[in-house]
Amino acid sequence: MGAVKLSGTQEANFDGLVGPTHNYAGLSFGNVASARSAERPSNPREAVIQGLKKMRKMRDLGLHQGVLPPQERPYLPLLRRLGFSGTDAQILDKVRQQSPALLASASSASAMWTANAATVSPAADTGDGRVHFTPANLCTHLHRAIETETTARILKAVFPDPSHFVHHPALPSTPMLGDEGAANHTRLCADYDEPGLELFVYGRDADDQPGPQRYPARQTRTASEALIRMHELPRNRALLVQQHPDAIDQGVFHNDVIAVGNREVLLFHEQAFVDSKQMRSWISTHFRGRRRPVFIEVPEAELSVRDAVDAYLFNSQLICTADDSMRMIVARECRDHPRAWATVQKIIDDAANPIAGVDVLDLRQSMNNGGGPACLRLRVVLSEDARAAVSPGSWLTSKRYTDLLAWAEKHYREHLTLDDLADPQLLEESRTALDALTRILNLGSIYDFQRN
């Protein structure tokens, strides 16, 4: 871990640690990997270690890397609220018998995909010069909707200083305001400390607009419009873009499965948006600063949407390195896919864009649920002062990396099936693990079981 840290205003990544109940329950209709993996046994320990190695790699590349904790699962407060009563063990037994689907929803480790935790607008873009956070309501799926309250609490603990950070409440949890956070939000800028353009991608408008026929569109235009107002973004610096309904119907359940932006670069598939021509022209007109926008549009004839969904090429992270160039961080599935890998090579070889290299990560445990490199991280652009205002225990240091590896080895199982979710011992193990984690990350009592 010797790389020089990037200084000045930079993008930091906050990755979600995989929770001890990581499993494959097939909960996400419209996410083809989730359906394909349903009921397969998982390996939570391998999953959390794969995520930690990813964070370490980012840190080795000189990036500022933070850690967000997993959530308490199975989530007993949900089950009690739905009328199950008795001791924790009795509740788990009842729900296993009466509604295995509810047990699965209450047990998902889905909070690991922190690209869905919140929408974040950097200080340079907002009316009051502070970083704005709005936790996503994730209201299309129960297992995700139950993340919001704890996520809000965690974000406030990690970004506590009101002179730098503003925390909005999540949007009301109703289909009209479906909000899935940063997975449908991209920022382009000439330099991170300058005002940027924020793109808000939605899958659904008013009911009379043509939308996807097969799979749900999770992000609504009405939600994105509210975020623009709440984050005090000037209207000439925020654009609403409609995701292509056909892409959603082919398994593009979030825009980050088909497009990714970093600094001046927007890498996207030809069929990502309803009208990419109009989007490109708006960006070119409104972009300010010492660089020009760079569009990398991958045609369907080169890589189909289906290929993109299989290989997760667009779910790569694009990161800036100390020499001002960029690298792509891709999942192993991308290298294993000949057409996707050819596209990656082409992008790297093309001198018209600043992407100069690629790193490959093994994230198979998360990928099996549709979570690639970009899903696992929440990007937060921070000045040096704002970085100093982040709760110090949330940064990945060499020591914390070693502590977290040892913690995972100690507390996580290597084999988990859906039948195991009702095991009271698993609940106990998870709580013990999370309690120890809040001490490693120095976050105080953020979980319901610690507070009650």
- Residues with a catalytic annotation lie at 180, 254, 375
Write down the least CB distance from residue 26 to ligand SUG, Å.
5
Residue 142 vs 190, nearer CB to ligand SUG: 142
User: Within 13 Å, how many C-alpha atoms sit on residue 410's CB side?
Assistant: 11
Write down the least CB distance from residue 180 to ligand SUG, Å.
7
Could you tell me which residues are beta bridge partners of residue 14?
66, 378
Residue 108 vs 353, nearer CB to ligand SUG: 108
Residue 110 vs 391, nearer CB to ligand SUG: 110
Residue 25 vs 92, nearer CB to ligand SUG: 25
Residue 250 vs 383, nearer CB to ligand SUG: 250
Write down the least CB distance from residue 227 to ligand SUG, Å.
16
Write down the least CB distance from residue 257 to ligand SUG, Å.
6
Residue 146 vs 152, nearer CB to ligand SUG: 146
User: Contact residues for ligand SUG (CB under 6 A)?
Assistant: 24-28, 31, 34, 108, 110, 113, 115-116, 144, 183, 253-254, 256-257, 369-371, 375
Write down the least CB distance from residue 112 to ligand SUG, Å.
9
Write down the least CB distance from residue 324 to ligand SUG, Å.
27
Q: Find out whether 136 and 116 touch, Cβ atoms under 8 Å.
A: yes
Give 277's contacts (C-beta < 8 A, 6+ positions apart): none
